[in-house]
Amino acid sequence: MQFAYFPRGASLISYLVVLKDGRAIETAMVGREGAIGGFVSQGRLPAYTRAEVQCGGRFFRIGLRELEEIKSGSPSVRALFARYADCLLSQIFQSVACNATHSIEQRTAKWLLAAVERTGDTEISLTQEQMAAMLGVGRSYLSRVIANLKAKGVIEARRSRISVSDPQRLEATACECTRSVSRHFDEVLRGVYPHGDDH
């Protein structure tokens, strides 16, 4: 790995763990609050996960050598990346707890809520098949969940696109996990996590 990337605007990236059977399950989501690349290991260690762009957009890019020079010369920048790594790890921990305890409807609502906050856009370009694969659930089961959310007026679903029409009801449907992660961001990296009204 040669570069670190910083998503801008509506860019959304998933860290995926690829299983032996080929399924790729999401373990963390990164939007305009974060970064992807070897910013912790300086790109010298093998990557355990695969980073995949879910919603396209623009990125800032910096060479890892240049980034390391900046970090070496600035304790505050070094601390910033250490704090971000802590926040990313908290998201992974929360994801494990969420997958073990919350319903698929709650997890679906949580994912959509986080995607809206991290992209700043209520419309997410994603197929139900992609979403089902990331959540590790069957496509037909997710279709029923999406249909239920649509019937409640929470979302609108069209081909390759989901629009959130009622963010408040979506948050009420979601589990507490997105709020737990955003609170941790606010405690560790105040002002970095984009809440729903940030654009």
Predicted pLDDT at 97? 95
Blockwise average pLDDT, block size 10, the chain, 199 residues? 88 92 91 83 74 88 91 91 91 94 96 91 90 90 95 92 94 94 88 59
Q: Return d(Cα 166, Cα 175) in angstroms, integer.
A: 16
pLDDT number for residue 196: 53
Q: CA nearest 40: which of 80, 89, 85?
A: 85
Domain holding 162, by residue range, is: 3-188
CB-CB contact of 30 with 118 (8 Å): yes
Residue 199 lies in a domain: no
- Asked if 36 contacts 13 with a C-beta cutoff of 8 angstroms, the reply is yes
Copy the structure tokens of residue 83: 């704090």
CB-based contacts of 42, cutoff 8 Å, min separation 6 = 64, 68
Q: What is the pLDDT of residue 43?
A: 58
**In total, how many domains does the chain have?**
1
Please give the structure tokens belonging to residue 30: 């990164």
Q: Residue 4 forms beta bridges with which residues? A: 37, 62
pLDDT at 199: 44
According to the model, what pLDDT value does residue 120 have? 87
In a domain, 114, yes or no: yes
Has residue 193 been placed in a domain? no
Q: What is the pLDDT of residue 38?
A: 73
Considering the entire predicted model, what is its pTM? 0.87
Return the pLDDT at 1: 74
CATH number where 150 lies: 1.10.10.10
196 falls within a domain: no
Say if 194 falls within a structural domain.
Answer: no
